[in-house]
Structure 1
Amino acid sequence: MQQRLTPGTVLLLVIPPLLWAGNAVVGRLVHTLIPPFTFNFLRWVLALLILLPMAGWALRRDAGVWQHWRRYSLLGLLGVGLYNTLQYLALQTSSPINVTLVAASMPMWMLAVGALFFGVAVTGRQILGALFSTAGVLVVLSRGQWAELLALRLVPGDLFMLLATISWSFYSWLLTRTKEPKAVRQDWAAFLLAQVVFGLAWSSVMTAGEWAITSPHMGWGWPLALALLFVAVGPAVLAYGCWGAGLQRVGPATAGFFSNLTPLFAALMSAAFLGEAPHLFHGVAFLLIVGGIVVSSRR
C-alpha cells in the first residue's frame, strides 16, 4: 500500500535527482574522453565491485535471484543497460539544456505508462501536478525569459533522451511489481546487485558492438578516473538505492515528479561552478515543482 509523503521519503526521493544532476554535468564534461556505451559499462562494473561485498549472498543459487532471471533481466536492460547509455549517447550531440527539457516529460510518461500498461488510473490531481512541475522546469530552462525556449532546436540526441525517459518509466513501474524473494526485496543492495549483474550482460553486448562498429577514443587520466568513480558511487549505487526505496513507499506516479528537481539542481550546480548567484526564477521554479509534488500526492 502506498504511503503519504513523509520527511524520510522526501529525502529518499530528493537524493537521486541531486546526484543525477551531477551525472549529467559529468557525462557532458567527459564525452570527448570516453564513448558513451563504454562509459556506462565501466560505471556499472565499478558499481558491481562496490555492491558485491555488501550483498554477494544474493547471487547464491539458493537465494532465489536466478529463479527470477526474466524479471531481473528486464530490469537490468531498462534501468542499467538502456537508460544511462541513452543519456550519455544523447549528450554526445545534444546540449544539456535540451536533454533536460526532454527529461522534463518524465511525470507525463510515468502517468501514461502506468495507465496504459499497468492498469493504474490517472487522477485529475496528478495531471494538475504534472503541469505545475513541468512549468517549473520550463522556468529553469528559460531562465525566466520565455523567448529562450523559442530558440531551442532539437537534434538527434534529444530522441535518445526521449527513449531513455520512456525506458526509465517502464523500469520504475516494474520495480513495484514484487516477485522476488522477500530477503532480496528488503535488502536494497541485494536487489540492486541482481539488476546490475543482468544489466551488465546487456551493457557488455552494447559496448562490444560500439567497439566493433566505431573507432572509439579513450582519454585515460585522473579526470576520467574521478568521473567514473563519482558516477559509480553516487548516481549509480546511492541514487538507484534511494529511488527504489522511495518508489516502494509512494509509487512511480508520485516519485516521477521528483525527477523534475534534476534540472533545478543542475542549474544551481552550474551557477555554483561558474560563481553566479541564484536568481529569482530559481525560487519560482522550485515552488512550482514542489507544488506539483504536493498536489499530485494529496489524498
Structure 2
Amino acid sequence: MLRPLNLLFLLVPPVFWAGNAVVGRMAAGTIPPLTLNFVRWFLALLLLLPFVWNNLKRDWPLLKKHWVLMAVTAFLSITTYNALQYLALTTSSAINITLITSAGPIFTLLIGRLFFGSQISRPATVGAIISIVGVVWVLVRGNLDNVAGIHFVPGDLFMLLAVALWALYAWVLRKRPQSISIYSAFAAQIVLGSLFAFPMMLAELSFGSYAPIYFNLKLLAILLYVVTCPALLAYICWQQAVARTGTELPMFFQNLTPIFAALLSVALLGEHPEGYHVVALVLIVLGIVLANRKQNTK
C-alpha cells in the first residue's frame, strides 16, 4: 500500500501538467506562445538558482566538458517542447493535447528501436500499435471520414512533433554522466534552453500577428502558475516519486494527466470531453500497460 507522502509525490506532477495544458489554453490571445515559453523558463531559472547554486559550482567542470549534451537536451526539452505545446494550444483543446502527450512512452519505444538499437518485445509492439490507434482516434476526432480528408487541427500536429522530440530527449538524456547531479543538469538546461528560446521570442514579437501584451491580473496569474507549478514543483515531485517508488509507477501515474485535464477543462474552460476522448484514453492506457509488460520466461 502506498504511503500518503509517496502518493502525493505521484499525483502532483500529472495534476500540475494537466493544469499547464489548461492554463496554456487560457493564455491563448493573452501572450504569444513562444514568448510564454521563454518568460516561463527565465523566471523559473531565477527562482531555482539560489537552491542549486552550490551544485552548479561543484559540477561546473563536468558541465563544461559535456556542454554539447547539455545543449542538445536543452534544445529538445526547454526550447522546443513547451514552445510547441503552447503553440498547439492556440488551436487545439487541452484534452486533445494531453491525450496525445500521454502516448509519449510509445514514441519513446519506437524512437529507441529506430535510432538507438533498443529491442521491443512482442507485448510492447502490440501496445505501441494500440496506443497509436488511440492517438489517431484523437486526431480524426472519432470520425474515420476525416482520415480521407487529412484535415487535422494544426495544434494536434504541433503536439505530435513535441512528443516525438521529447521522446528523443529522453534517449539522449540517458547519456548524462551520473556524476552530474540532476538539479545541476536541469539548471544548465534551463540556461541554455532559454538562450535558444530568446531569438525565437524576438522573431515572434517582431513578425507574428499577435495582439500587444497587456500585463493584467490574468496574465500575472498565468505566469505565476506555469513558473512555479509545472516547471518547478512538478519536476521536483517527479524526482521524489522516482526515488521513492522506482521508474515504472510514476510513468503509469503520468497517464492520469488527460483525466485531470478533462476535469480542469470542464471547470475552467467549459470544454467537455467527447466520446472519442474516452475511447482514445482507453486505447492509449491499454497500449502503455501492454508495452510495459515483461515477457514471461520459461
**Counterpart among 25, 28, 32 of residue 28 in structure 1:** 25
Q: Does 1:194 align with 2:192?
A: no
Q: Distance in 2 between matches of 1:11 and 1:163?
A: 31
Equivalent residue for 2:207?
213
Tell me if structure 2 keeps the 8 A contact 1:16–1:243: yes
Whole-angstrom distance in 2 between the partners of 1:53 and 1:284: 45
2: CA distance between counterparts of 1:288 and 1:10?
A: 25
More moved, 210-219 vs 22-31? 210-219
AA in 1 matched with 2:17: W
Partner of 1:69: 67
Q: Is the 1:137–1:260 Cα contact (8 Å) retained in structure 2?
A: no
- 2-structure distance, mates of 1:283, 1:155: 19
Separation of aligned partners in 1, 2:10 and 2:172: 17
C-alpha distance in 2, partners of 1:177/1:34?
35
SS across alignment from 1:60: helix
Partner of 1:3: none
1:215-258 CA distance string (max 9 Å, x none): 5421211111111111111111123344566679538xx97665
Question: Secondary structure at 2:187's aligned position in 1?
Answer: helix
Contact 1:264/1:282 (8 A) holds in 2: no
Q: Does residue 223 of structure 2 align to residue 225 of structure 1? A: no
CA contact (8 A) 2:34 2:201 kept: yes
Counterpart selection for 2:76 from 75, 78, 81: 78
Residues 108 and 285 from structure 1, CA distance in 2 versus in 1: closer, same or farther, beyond 3 angstroms?
Answer: closer
Matched residue, 1:160: 158
Q: Deviations over 1:11-69 (max 9, x none)?
A: 75654332211111001111111011110011001110121111012333763222221
Return closer, same or farther for 1:61/1:154 CA change in 2, 3 Å cut-off. same
Segment drifting more, 269-278 vs 40-49: 269-278
Cα distance change, pair 228–149 in 1 and its aligned pair in 2 (3 A): farther
CA separation of 1:297 and 1:117: change in aligned 2, threshold 3 A: same
- In structure 1, the residue corresponding to 2:80 is in which secondary structure? helix
Percent of aligned pairs with the same residue?
A: 42
User: Residue 53 of structure 2 aligns with which residue?
Assistant: 56
Structure 1 CA distance, aligned partners of 2:163 and 2:271?
Answer: 30
C-alpha contact (below 8 Å) 1:98/1:154 kept by paired residues: no
CA distance in 2, matches of 1:274, 1:160: 21
Q: Which runs of 5+ in 2 are unaligned?
A: none
CA change 1:165–1:266 in 2 (3 A) is same
Deviates more, 1:57-66 or 1:221-230: 57-66
Q: 1:271 to 1:133 in 2, by over 3 A?
A: farther
Q: Choose 209-218 or 116-125, whichever is displaced more.
A: 209-218
For residues 13 and 294 of structure 1, do their structure 2 counterparts lie closer, same or farther at Cα, with a shift above 3 Å needed? farther
Query: Are the aligned partners of 2:70 and 2:185 in contact in 1 as well (CA < 8 Å)?
Result: no
- Report the equivalent of 1:87: 85
C-alpha contact (below 8 Å) 1:90/1:158 kept by paired residues: yes
Instruction: Please state whether the residue corresponding to 1:34 is helix, strand or coil.
Output: coil
Report SS of the residue matched to 2:36.
Answer: helix
Q: Which residue of 1 aligns with 2:117?
A: 119
The normalised TM-score by structure 2 is: 0.77
- Match status 1:47 vs 2:44: yes
Residues 11-20 or 198-207, more deviating: 11-20
The alignment yields a C-alpha RMSD, in angstroms, of 3.8
Judge conservation of contact 2:265–2:272 (CA < 8 Å) in 1. no
Residue range with higher mean Cα deviation, 88-97 or 65-74: 88-97
1:18 to 12, 15, 18: 15
Q: Deviations over 1:100-123 (max 9, x none)?
A: 454354233111111112221111
**3-state SS, counterpart of residue 214 of structure 2:** coil
Between 129-138 and 219-228, the greater mean CA deviation after superposition: 129-138
8 A contact 1:110–1:256 mirrored in 2: no
Count of paired positions: 285
